[in-house]
A and B are shown apart, each in its own frame.
Chain A
């Protein structure tokens, strides 16, 4: 779950800095409100600028901006660094208004789909501990595959394939959603992502039950 991990770090740092800046500005505002009220006999300053101070301030801002850009770009590259091991492949096809997950590496082509009505949600089954490469496309309009728990999403376009690699390090089942408005049933276009042990994944690919979901051999 490298995405979740990196998101956590970067978000925490930026949120902390943002909170710091907010508190400083608020403190200055409150100070001005308390001390510079007309009722307190404050006299208005006639100073029109402080170019020296402003120049230092701009230098600090710039240095900070450079740090932020470089550091977050590095994190972004780390997140997208693909592992050496050959990944498990899953083809994701989105359509109005549900998903199809196909497993091209299964002995007999396996795929799972559904209607995304009520409880009929398709399940994307992936093994833990191995990189999984999702190849994402759409049959009609733009959709977006989002798994909030993994802190990651990517858009699915027609006539274009996007891919990204995930590694799940524990077993579990989480909900995924469509994040790009795609029409009438956009709000119910959900799916499950289920991480199982490599052995169970192997059995699932062979077509034995255990993977769960509406996995029907196609």
Chain B
């Protein structure tokens, strides 16, 4: 991405390389630059993985089509799913934390900045390594994002692409874990004076819960990948059932918490947007914080719900823990709905995405409870019903949160406003595209279409629903194109100096990042832009309310 860096006029960096050159960017220990690098990299990868998805949707638009070979199709769904999860939605979430948490807590920087930068590099390298699989003779890895053995061992997936997949995912996940530690440590140890734990903004709290899951659960993925690597060296290992089922346990011990890593930061971004654009304090703050922590704890006890059909899991137990999740999830909805019900809503682009998140994510959540019911899961697991469910959670949910976050913080990060009209067009195309693409998939799965199939027969009757879904995908493509053009165009105009300049606080924000300049200086706060007094989790709102009250008391005649 062509993010031209802000010319840092305050020059507190004190480094010999020119501050706006590319070298300064890729070696910077400024958390804001590392955050922007992470976010920009994941957005580029989002476009790549998105084109893979469009290719798949083109193939499935009609029965028995073969635009791409089955070999390639299998690689596409594998790299699309792996890329989106390991290298787009997760790193973007952590990248937001790297950028925002130090600002929100009034810190001049991040804890362990050099390691954070290393984390970014491991992540970027991992993505390249995984994608390099396409350049090998056998093509990229083709066994899905969870790659169960023995299918993923060297007997059944002999290509070097599979080795590259393991290496790439391992590197990227290691990088994510390192960045997760940095964000967690920052949130716990670098809070400014007055910033108690219960004055942390919702977003920062969500990052703490997220990073607890990252460090608690992500190592299980590294272990699973290690097992897979060992099994590729010696395939005899996967002749024993214990290692096959053991892999699934290891994998899903990571695999469920990662779902919440891809959910909390976006939920919290939505919450911040809802509160700011409702012109009020976020409602039910303490309940939300508590529910995030309960959620994070429970998240590590539910993994077996991905294994109901294996006949080798304690289904009653995993069903209990999974359904129990509806309580903390319900609390979060209570808070979001409560916020807007008592608000004074302004419908700028960030707010549109945040509002759409509420019902759309709910569809993913409600169908998740269904999938947590073994009797239902036996039928719909490994079918398009699950594909629909996971895309409602990750795309209709998290991606809407992601876009809300981009529109919301873009002015802060770049110093210019992102186009409003194009933002609205992007939003409406995205709402149409999302629902037209993913709603039919629930029906397809119910009617018997398995996931991960490169083609289906015409007599199966899946034709028109698939066609509908592919038409929706065209709307998604158009929508993301509008977004990309909007961002690039705005950045281009910024370089030319003709973009609309962003004030420090364009939206009437609540949290500390809005008290400093846009973009923030190297050490975040300066004597002219000091850290305001932290009186609650919405210090800027407090300040405004105090001022209003002062004014009201002053003229004494206001109603």
Residues of chain A touching chain B, judged by Cβ–Cβ distance below 8 Å, are 3, 6-7, 10-11, 14-15, 18, 21-22, 25-26, 28-29, 31-33, 36-38, 42-51, 54, 57-58, 61-62, 64-65, 68-69, 72-73, 75-76, 79, 96, 140-142, 144, 146, 148-149, 151-155, 157-160, 162-164, 175, 177-187
- Shortest CB-to-CB span from A173 to chain B, Å, is 14
Could you tell me if B373 and A159 are in contact, using CB atoms closer than 8 angstroms? no
User: Are B383 and A7 touching (Cβ within 8 A)?
Assistant: no
Contact, CB under 8 Å: A144 / B382? yes
Kindly list 17 other residue pairs between chains A and B, CB separation below 8 angstroms, not including A140-B156, A181-B143. Answer: A7-B378, A10-B373, A11-B379, A25-B358, A26-B359, A36-B341, A42-B343, A42-B344, A45-B280, A49-B284, A96-B156, A149-B448, A153-B379, A154-B311, A157-B244, A184-B70, A186-B452
* Complex contact A181–B327 (CB within 8 A): no
When chains A and B are docked, how far (Å) is the Cα of A162 from the Cα of B244? 14
Chain A contacts for B333, CB-based, 8 A: 25
Alpha-carbon separation in the docked complex, A181 to B346 (Å): 47
The 10 closest A-B pairs by CB, nearest first: A148-B448, A45-B342, A187-B453, A162-B311, A44-B280, A18-B366, A151-B379, A160-B241, A179-B382, A159-B241
Q: Which residues of A sit under 8 angstroms from B340, Cβ to Cβ? A: 29, 32, 36
**A15–B370 CB distance below 8 A:** yes
Q: Cβ of A182: which chain B residues have Cβ within 8 Å of it? A: 151
**Which stretch, B16-24, B177-185, B314-322, B426-434, touches the partner chain A?**
B314-322
Give the contacting residue for A22; candidates B284, B363, B379, B545; CB below 8 A: B363
Q: Which label, helix, strand, loop or mixed, suits the secondary structure of the B interface? A: helix
- Do the beta carbons of A11 and B316 come within 8 Å of each other? no
Of the candidates A14, A31, A186, the one whose C-beta lies within 8 Å of that of B373 is A14
Contact of A22 with B281 in the complex, beta carbons under 8 Å: no
Among the interface residues B285, B334, B355, B450, which one has the most CB atoms of the partner chain A within 10 A?
B450
Return the contact of A69 from the options B319, B381, B448 (Cβ within 8 A): B319
Chain B 356-380 near chain A by CB (<8 Å), digits 1 or 0: 0011001100110110011110110
Quick one: closest A residue to B373, CB to CB?
A: A72
**What are 19 A-B residue pairs whose CB atoms fall within 8 Å in the complex?**
A10-B375, A14-B376, A36-B342, A37-B344, A38-B279, A38-B346, A47-B283, A49-B283, A65-B323, A141-B150, A141-B151, A141-B156, A142-B151, A146-B382, A158-B239, A158-B244, A181-B143, A182-B151, A187-B70
Inter-chain contacts of B334 with A (CB < 8 A): 54, 57
Known contacts A18-B367, A72-B319, A184-B70; decide if A43 and B344 are in contact (CB<8 Å): yes
Contact yes or no, A179 B244, CB < 8 A: no
The minimal Cβ–Cβ distance linking B330 to chain A, given in whole angstroms, is 5
Residue of B nearest to A162 (CB): B311
Q: How far is the CA of A107 from the CA of B41 in the complex (A)?
A: 65
Give Cα distance in the complex from A62 to B324, angstroms: 8
B14-45 interface (Cβ within 8 A of A):
none
Q: How far is the CA of A38 from the CA of B359 in the complex (A)?
A: 21
Contacts of B344 in A (CB 8 A): 36-38, 42-44
Q: Do A37 and B359 touch (CB < 8 A)? A: no
Find out whether the CB atom of B375 lies under 8 angstroms from the CB atom of A7: yes
Residues on the B chain within 8 Å of A15, using CB: 370
Q: Which residues of B contact A36 (CB under 8 A)?
A: 278, 340-345
Contacts of A58 in B (CB 8 A): 327, 330-331
B74 CB-CB contact with A under 8 Å? yes
What residues of chain B lie closer than 8 Å to A179, measured between beta carbons?
A: 309, 381-383, 450-451
Task: From the candidates B287, B310, B447, name the one contacting A148 in the complex (CB within 8 A).
Answer: B447
Interface residues of B in 375-412 (CB under 8 A from A): 375-376, 378-379, 381-383
Is B148 in the interface zone, CB < 8 Å from A?
Answer: yes
Q: What string of 1s and 0s marks CB contacts (under 8 Å) between B261-294 and chain A? A: 0000000000000000011110111110000000
Smallest CB–CB gap between A65 and chain B, Å?
5
Report chain A residues within 8 Å CB of B286. 49
Q: A154-B309, A157-B244 in contact; A10/B239 too (CB < 8 A)?
A: no
Docked pose: A180 CA to B358 CA in angstroms: 32
Number of B residues with CB within 8 Å of any CB on chain A: 77
Q: Which of chain B's residues has its CB closest to A161's CB?
A: B311
Provide the residues of chain A in CB contact with B327, threshold 8 Å. 58, 61-62, 65
Residues in A whose Cβ lies below 8 Å from that of B362: 21-22, 25
Establish whether residues A155 and B310, one from each chain, have CB atoms under 8 Å apart when the complex forms: yes
Alpha-carbon gap, A64 to B453, bound state (A)? 37
A37/B347 contact (C-beta < 8 A), A25-B362, A49-B285, A140-B156 known:
yes
Q: How far is the CA of A44 from the CA of B275 in the complex (A)?
A: 10
Interchain CB contact under 8 A, A28 and B287? no
In this complex, the member of A10, A155, A158, A184 whose beta carbon has the largest number of chain B beta carbons within 10 angstroms is A155
Cβ–Cβ < 8 Å partners of B346 in chain A: 38
Partner of A48, one of B144, B245, B285, B451: B285
* Neighbouring A residues of B502 by C-beta, 8 Å: none
A132 to B311, CA, bound (A): 17
- Chain A nearest CB from B429 CB (Å) reads 20
- Nearest CB of A to B89, in Å: 22
Question: Which of B284, B309, B342, B373 touches A155 (beta carbons < 8 Å)?
Answer: B309
B71 at the interface (CB under 8 A from A): yes
Asked if B338 is at the interface of the complex by the 8 Å CB criterion, the answer is: yes
User: Are the C-beta atoms of A44 and B343 separated by less than 8 Å?
Assistant: yes
Partner of B320, one of A69, A157, A158, A177: A69
Q: Does B478 contact A (CB under 8 A)?
A: no
How far does the Cβ of A156 sit from chain B's closest Cβ, in whole Å? 9
